[in-house]
Amino acid sequence: MDAYDKGSTARRCDPEPRPDPLRSPAPDEVPEAGGQVPEAARVLEDGQVPEPDLPSPSFPSPPVTPSPPSATRRIGLSALSLRYQIAAACALVVVALVACVHIAMVFLHVAPSNTVSKQYGRAVDNWIYPEFEQNWKLFAPNPLQQNIAVQARAEVRTADGGTRTTGWYDLSARDGADIDGNLLPSHTQQNELRRAWDFYVSAHDSENRPNGLRGQLSERYIRRIVVLRLSHEGGLTADGRTAAGKQPTIARVQVRSRTTNVAPPPWSDEKVDSKPLYREVPWWTVTVADRALDSDSGSNSQSKSDSGTRARAAADGTVDR
C-alpha cells in the first residue's frame, strides 16, 4: 500500500514547494558554521539586496610638473633688468620730490604770512601762478560779504573827427543777465571778468601802481576784455570799420569797480553801510594789439545793438556826455 492508500494528502503528481529566496530562513534552517549560504538567501534586514562588489576603475594620474624654486620667481620691479630697475627707482624719486615741493609751495601760499613765505614769496608765486592758484575765500572764517561790479566807459572818436565820452556800462550786470535762467552758463560769463578784476587788484597797490610784470600783464588783460565787450555795445567798434560804414572808434577806456555791502538777513541786528564805494583806474589808451581782437566786430555791431541797449539800461549813469 502506498502513501495514497494510507490517507496522505500528498499526491505523486504535485510538485515539491520551491523555497522563497527573499524569506529569511527559519532558526532551524540556519546552516552550521562553515556552511555556505545560498546567494539568494543573502538579504539585509530591511529587505534590500546588497550591491555586488565590483572592482573600482583605475584612471591614469596626470603628470606632475615640478614647480620652480621660489628664489627664481620675480614680481614687480624685481622682474625688470638691473638697468630698468635703476631707471624706475630714479623716476619714483623724482616724482616724490616734485610732489613734496608742490605740497610745500601750496602750503606756503595759503598759510598766513611768516618768515619763510616772506623770504621766498617770489619763488612761491612763480610756482603757483597761474596753473595752481588757490582761492580760499569761500572757506575763510569771514567770507566775502560784498558785491563787486566791474563797469567801464570809453572815449570814442566820431566820424566827423570829434571825441565824446560814453556813460558807464555795467559789464557785471550784463554777465548776470546772461547767467540768470541759463542752465549751462559759459566759463566766460561766470569767471572771465570777475577773475580779471581780482587779478588786477592783487597785482596793484591802492594807488593803482603795478607790482612788476604781473601788474602790467593784468592791465593788458582787463583792457582787452573791456575793449572787446564795449565794441559790442551801442554801435561802438575798436577799429572804426563796419559793414554799415564809419562808426565811432574806441580811443581810450576806463574801468572802475562798484562795491556794495550785502544786506544782513532780517533776523540779524547787524548794521551795514549801503553806500557804494568806487575805485577808478586811470584812462588806458587802446593799442593796435587791443584792436586786433575785434577785427570782425564791425560786421556784428548792428545785430548786437539790442544787447547794447539792455546793458545801458542796467548801467549806473549810462547817458552819453
Q: Tell me: the pLDDT tens digits for 26-36?
A: 555 555 555 55
Q: Which three cell numbers stand for residue 285?
A: 589808451
- pLDDT recorded at residue 225: 94
318/171 Cα distance (integer angstroms):
12
79/73 Cα distance (integer angstroms):
8
Give residue 113's pLDDT band: very low, low, confident or very high (50, 70, 90).
confident
Q: Which of 311, 320, 319 is nearest to 169 (CA)?
A: 311
- pLDDT recorded at residue 75: 76
CA angle 10, 31, 39 (to 5 degrees): 85
**Contact of 308 with 233, CB cutoff 8 Å:** yes
Q: Which three cell numbers stand for residue 154?
A: 570809453
CA angle 186, 190, 191 (to 5 degrees): 110
Give residue 69's pLDDT band: very low, low, confident or very high (50, 70, 90).
low
DSSP state of 5: T
Question: pLDDT: is 33 or 129 the higher one?
Answer: 129
Lowest-confidence pick of 2-6, 77-81, 177-181, 197-201: 2-6
**Contact of 250 with 283, CB cutoff 8 Å:** no
